[in-house]
Amino acid sequence: MNLAVGDMVEDFELLDETGTPRRLGEFLAKGPVVLFFYPAAMTSGCTAESCHFRDLAADFAAVGATRIGISRDGVDRQARFAQANQLGFPLLSDPDGAVARRLGARRTVGVGPFLTRRMTFVIGEDHRLLEAIHSETHMEAHADRALEVLRSRPRP
């Protein structure tokens, strides 16, 4: 399933890097969410992308948005990735790719980490999709475009 701008994003629950169950709805209650899928923690491209999200923390705070990374990696690997890079935002573990599949960030062909597409979803407080960002090779494009979308929308 591929979501289109304006579609409702269903709530889901996954474990974060500390093993705590987290719901999308809990984050949306505080403001918009930027949910970015990456293929595999501790790889060069995913590290570059995640660190760019980290480095823009003040910019995302200024628009009231929560950044959340998500991959098929297990909780322990997500914890090591978060700590090694001092990310400062939740990393969710989607080991069977169920959430990626529901949002259209899962490939039908590939193995291991290559089943997850590098995609970012900007989600409004009302659970509506504001933007879906696709780029497998431009690691900074995801955070940069998410900020453009959030800065251009009317603030509630």
**Are 39 and 140 spatial neighbours (Cβ–Cβ below 8 Å)?**
no
**Are 88 and 54 spatial neighbours (Cβ–Cβ below 8 Å)?**
yes
Q: At what angle do helices 141-152 and 44-55 cross, to 10 degrees?
A: 30
Q: Is the dihedral of CA 138, 139, 142, 148 positive or negative?
A: negative
- Write down the catalytic residue from 28, 41, 46, 65: 46
Q: What is the Cα–Cα distance from 118 to 9, expressed in whole angstroms? A: 18
E strand intervals along the chain: 13-16, 21-23, 33-37, 66-71, 91-93, 119-123, 129-134
CB count, 10 Å around CB of 154?
4
Q: Is 46 noted as a catalytic residue in this protein?
A: yes
* 44 alpha carbon, distance to own chain's centre: 17
Annotated catalytic sites, by residue?
46
